[in-house]
Amino acid sequence: MANRVDRLEILSPSEAETLRLGTVLASAAFPGLTLLLRGPLGSGKTTLIRGIAGALGARHVRSPSFTLINEYDGYIPIVHVDLYRLSDGGGDELGLEEYLLRDVLLLVEWPERWTSPPSEDLWSLSFDFHGDGEKGGGQRRITIEATGARAVEALSFVKSVLNSEGPEGS
């Protein structure tokens, strides 16, 4: 049986809006969900993660660029991984698949450096600059693709929340 897939695209005009989106995503997150965050430097990946982790009760969220992995206690245990400084395939040496067995929310920046990410219970997020001016004038386009029945159901919940709040998404 093929995995279920769904998609959501959101325009975020500011850092505050990206943090708010993180709060909404956190409301639908569940243990075992993996988020793969792709996009250029400065596109909002870590900002979104700060919103998610903060909404789940984590404190002092920071980018793990140098430590590679940060773990946070929250309503759901959170593991934040930043593979930016690794070469392609370097994420494979970190044993990230072990986290998949621990019922955590796994947040991975620069996942293209991990050759075997999960294929279900997955939100794949793409960030890019949108609009005129340098770096899109501050506006970001965030596309979320959900794979797997639970992830699709959770993204459906996110859509309903955003629609009830008057979203930037579609």
pLDDT 10s digits, 38-83: 999 889 999 999 999 999 999 888 776 667 889 999 899 999 998 8
The whole-model pTM stands at 0.88
Report the chain's mean pLDDT, rounded to a whole number.
86
- pLDDT surpasses 90 at 162: yes
Render the burial of 17-33: b for 16+ CB within 10 Å, e for the rest.
Answer: bbbbbbebbbebbeebb
CA angle 58/130/84 to nearest 5° reads: 50
Residues 61/49, Cβ–Cβ less than 8 Å: yes
Range in 32-36, 70-74, 144-148 with the lowest mean pLDDT: 70-74
**How many CB atoms are closer than 10 A to CB 60?**
8
Burial class for 132, CB neighbours closer than 10 Å (0-12, 13-18, 19+)? exposed
- pLDDT surpasses 90 at 165: no
- pLDDT surpasses 90 at 137: no
DSSP string, 113-165: G-S---SSSEEEEEEEE-SSSGGGGG-EEEEEEEESHHHHHHHHHHHHHHHHT
